[in-house]
């Protein structure tokens, strides 16, 4: 036992230092995560700028950061503002009685419920009960999104700090990323050749996954939102944005357009359903 005491004390010390370090940086983990993701995705762009502007590394970094702002930050902020604006307008229409989700769900359920009234667990439910619950749930969801606007305004300073920290970390990851990778490779006792190949495969897979996933999600959500608007479904933009988020999952967007197509088909709108 006495022989193991120094070892136990050392492990305890390492654990305490690790926990303390995590508690110290926990508020900045999200900024670190996004900085790493952006560095992995935009590093090829930075390397091309470096090759083009051989005598000005700062200019290459500046152009890369500006491209990230134009391609990633500004569209993200614009979409966030549009989602909150549409959610707020939709919530105000619900509050004013201009839109009644319960009536919409009631009409839909009157078509759907007879198809399933043979199921034992559906016999005790009525159209009014289900439509009321569904309408209230939908209204609460829209209300929750609309209420995030004041919270977003209150946390504006924290959001600005997170953005600034993300780009601060991103700057050094882009500038010194290759050196950091070489140092990590030298510290890991596997073999420099194997480690280099592992890092290259990891970055290529991560880059392809992020790019491919985002591009597919944006395309699916945009097409879905446009088709929803085309067939007259309310809040088409909001549904389109939700489809973009869910499209990052394997069958995410199907959870929205699938039931919608079924409902339109049962309502006799076969062309719109297709």
Where on the phi/psi map is residue 144: left (φ > 0), alpha (ψ -120 to 50), or beta?
A: alpha
pLDDT band at residue 18 under the 50/70/90 scheme: confident
Where on the phi/psi map is residue 50: left (φ > 0), alpha (ψ -120 to 50), or beta?
A: alpha
- Residue 92 pLDDT exceeds 50: yes
Q: What is the mean pLDDT of residues 249-270?
A: 52
Q: Give the C-alpha distances (Å, rounded to integers) separating 258 from 33, 134, 261, 267.
A: 33, 17, 5, 14
pLDDT confidence of residue 81: 73
Half-sphere exposure of 140 (CA within 13 A, CB side): 6
Instruction: Please give the share of the chain, as a percent, with pLDDT higher than 70.
Output: 50
- Residue 242 pLDDT exceeds 50: yes
pLDDT confidence of residue 154: 61
Residues 6+ apart with CB under 8 A from 247: 216, 217, 220, 221, 253
What is the per-residue pLDDT across 105-161, written as a single tens digit (0 to 9) for each?
556 555 555 554 444 454 444 545 555 555 556 666 666 666 666 666 666 677 778
Q: What is the mean pLDDT of the chain?
A: 69
pLDDT confidence of residue 119: 46
pLDDT band at residue 249 under the 50/70/90 scheme: low
Cα 188 from Cα 182, distance rounded (Å): 10
- Residue 35 pLDDT exceeds 80: yes
Cα 46 from Cα 63, distance rounded (Å): 8
pLDDT confidence of residue 120: 42
pLDDT confidence of residue 100: 62
**Which of 274, 257, 261 lies closest to 221 in space, CA to CA?**
257
Task: Give 162-231 as a 3 state SS string.
Answer: HHHHHHHHHHHHHHHHHHHHHHHHHHCCCCHHHHHHHHHHHHHHHHHHHHHHHHHHHHHHHHHHHHHHHC
pLDDT band at residue 98 under the 50/70/90 scheme: low
Residues 6+ apart with CB under 8 A from 84: 145, 146, 148, 149, 152
Residues 6+ apart with CB under 8 A from 123: 117
Cα 272 from Cα 274, distance rounded (Å): 5
Query: Which of 97-111, 155-169, 195-209, 225-239 is most confident?
Result: 155-169
The more confidently predicted of residues 30 and 171 is 171
What is the per-residue pLDDT across 53-90, written as a single tens digit (0 to 9) for each?
877 788 888 888 888 888 778 877 777 777 777 767 76
Whole-prediction pTM: 0.57
Cα 97 from Cα 79, distance rounded (Å): 27
Q: What is the mean pLDDT of residues 229-258?
A: 63
Q: Give the C-alpha distances (Å, rounded to integers) separating 263 from 13, 122, 128, 167, 194.
A: 61, 18, 17, 46, 54
């Amino acid at each position: 036992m006495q022989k193991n005491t120094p070892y136990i004390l050392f492990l305890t010390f390492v654990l305490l230092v690790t926990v303390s370090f995590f508690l110290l940086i926990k508020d900045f983990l999200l900024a670190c995560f996004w900085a790493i993701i952006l560095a992995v995705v935009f590093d090829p762009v930075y390397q091309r700028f470096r090759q083009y502007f051989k005598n000005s590394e700062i200019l290459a970094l500046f152009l890369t950061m500006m491209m990230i702002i134009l391609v990633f930050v500004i569209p993200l902020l614009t979409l966030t503002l549009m989602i909150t604006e549409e959610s707020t307008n939709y919530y105000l229409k619900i509050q004013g009685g201009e839109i009644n989700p319960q009536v919409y769900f009631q009409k839909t359920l009157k078509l759907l419920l007879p198809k399933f009234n043979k199921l034992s667990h559906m016999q005790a439910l009525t159209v009014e009960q289900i439509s009321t619950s569904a309408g209230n749930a939908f209204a609460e969801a829209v209300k929750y999104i609309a209420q995030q606007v004041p919270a977003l305004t209150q946390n504006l300073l924290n959001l600005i700090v997170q953005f600034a920290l993300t780009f601060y970390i991103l700057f050094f990851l882009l500038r010194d990323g290759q050196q950091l990778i070489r140092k990590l490779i030298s510290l890991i006792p596997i073999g420099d050749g194997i480690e280099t190949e592992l890092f290259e495969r990891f970055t290529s897979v991560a880059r392809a996954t992020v790019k491919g996933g985002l591009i597919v999600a944006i395309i699916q959500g945009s097409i879905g939102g446009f088709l929803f608007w085309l067939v007259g479904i309310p809040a088409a933009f909001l549904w389109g944005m939700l489809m973009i988020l869910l499209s990052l999952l394997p069958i995410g967007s199907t959870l929205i357009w699938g039931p919608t197509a079924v409902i339109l088909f049962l309502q006799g709108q076969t062309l719109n359903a297709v």
